[in-house]
Amino acid sequence: MDIFGGLLLEYAEIIHVLFQLVCVLSVIAYLLSRTGTFREVVSGRLTWKNQAFLVLVFGALSVYGTYGAIEIMGAPVNVRDLGPMVAGLLGGPVAGLGAGLIGALYRSGMGGFTVVPCCLATVIAGLLGGLLWLYNRRKFIGIGNAVLFAGGMEVLHLGLVLLLAEPRHDAELLVAQIGIPMILANAGGMFIFAFIIANLISEERTKGERDTFHDELEKKNAELAVARRIQESFLPARVPSIEGFDLAAQSIPAREVGGDFYDVILRDGRAPFGLIIADVSGKGIPAALFMALSRTVTRANAKWHRDASLAVGNANRMISDDAPFGMFVTLCYVLIDPESRVLSCVNAGHNPPLLVRAGGSCTEIAPAGPALGILPDAEFSEERITLSPGDLLVLYTDGITESINARGEEYGRERLVDLALRNRGRCAREVLDLIKADVADHAAGMPQFDDITLVVLKVGSP
């Protein structure tokens, strides 16, 4: 056995023992990370109680780092500095110094020729850790920096041994022997603690972000609920009853708020009454805002003008002036004289309303002008039809006909016409509910893609 082989064996044994020590430290670090107090410290809540916790726990760790050491030429190779360093990096100079003093006190009881530099190094380790924490604006300095600090601290530790330990020759021999294992063991131990601390910090931050996001989401949902109630207040609170007619209407937005609306315009006595159905481009909040504008403008014009095409034409000019981002609204305005039963319809780019005659025929009232908001100077012509008792008028939005099932098939116009024809004898509410149910049946559990609105008018017997 030559000298080189012997040295290698000795090194292997030192590293082996230190490695066991590091394993024990890992378990301690992990268990610590599960405690509430440690988590509080990591997220920056440094009460006196928490600092005392750091001092005691990492002081004890320092003692353990000494106790679990192996002795080479009477000098323990150890990770005593580790505890105070971690305490300082996490909790500042007070915590670091406290833990360092505990470690140093224990070390001083053991004696040996390196007792002075070793005790001094342990105290300095805690203090320097704390100063680094202060320097980094009271925050942990990160994994890489912590490991560098641990390595550097051990170099300092060994330097102190060379400087202060007597006899000088023994000190030099000792440092040559344990220098590298000391640096590696402490840097490795620091890596374990720093890794767990960094993970905890990012965990706490994620948790904080998630909580904030959750709070914001709840606030948004509450706001949307209010928005929905406001929007519902734009629709008639209840469908008015009109002598000689049977009327039902309903609007179901696909999201909290929607872009469809309907309106009933009543005038004094037996003057013509108006029905409006409309569909604003897009969905959700943008559509809802534009719906509020369109609804107000059309209602005001419908109330003001006795002539349906004039009302729609004027509304179009106003909406065109204010329409941003290509927003537009398709709308159908039906004016009915209850005395003569003459219907005047202005269809501005909207799905053609169905007129199911009592006799069993069905006609559509095709658009006679573009959607509102796209051509400011468009003219709108009106179609006049005389209604008979038993006739059924169905106004709808494309949410009905374009409702798709799992195979991507649209509900379509044909199904709607067919259903209306077969049920033309029923009252308005029944017809509306049947259409709603049939569309839901067709979609069969698919989410509602678009707002759905229906206005059904049945002409009563004279």
Report the interface residues with another protein, using CB under 8 A.
Answer: 259, 279-284, 325-328, 330, 348-352, 367, 369-371, 374-375, 378, 398, 402, 449-450
Closest distance of CB 397 from another protein, Å: 10
Could you tell me which of 270, 262, 206 has the C-alpha nearest to residue 237? 262
The crossing angle, in degrees rounded to 10, of helices 82-91 and 115-135 is: 20
Of 180 and 368, CB closest to another protein:
368
Taking the complex as a whole, the smallest distance from the CB of residue 317 to another protein amounts, in Å, to 15
| Residue 351 beta carbon to another protein: minimum distance, rounded to whole angstroms | 7
Least distance to another protein, CB of residue 289, Å: 13
Residue among 209 and 409 whose Cβ is closer to another protein: 409
Of 15 and 362, nearer to another protein (C-beta) is 362
Nearer to another protein, 350 or 458 (CB): 350
Beta strands in 103-176 (DSSP E): none
Give the DSSP letter of residue 425. Answer: T
- Least distance from C-beta 278 to another protein, angstroms? 11
> At CB < 8 A and 24+ separation, what contacts does 25-32 make?
25/61, 25/65, 25/79, 25/82, 25/189, 25/192, 25/193, 26/192, 28/61, 28/64, 29/192, 29/193, 29/196, 30/196, 32/57, 32/196
**Residue nearer to another protein on the CB measure, 157 or 350:** 350
Cβ proximity to another protein, 165 vs 287, nearer residue: 287
Contact between residue 372 and residue 327 where contact means Cβ atoms under 8 Å apart: no
What is the C-alpha to C-alpha distance for residues 73 and 10, in angstroms, rounded to an integer?
Answer: 12
Within 332-446, residue ranges assigned H as helices are 398-401, 412-422, 428-443
**Under DSSP, is residue 298 helix (H, G, I), strand (E, B) or coil?**
helix
Structure tokens at 96: 């670091």
- 274: helix, coil or strand? strand
Q: How far is the CB of 125 from another protein (least distance, A)?
A: 51
Shortest Å, Cβ 273 to another protein: 26
| Coil, helix or strand at residue 454 | strand
Closer residue to another protein in complex, CB, 283/299: 283
- Could you give the count of Cα atoms lying within 13 Å of 156 in the half-sphere of its Cβ? 16
Q: Which residue has the tokens 């696909």?
A: 254
Q: Which tokens in the block code for residue 212?
A: 């904030």
Which C-beta is closer to another protein: that of 57 or that of 277? Answer: 277
Smallest gap from Cβ 307 to another protein, in A, equals 20
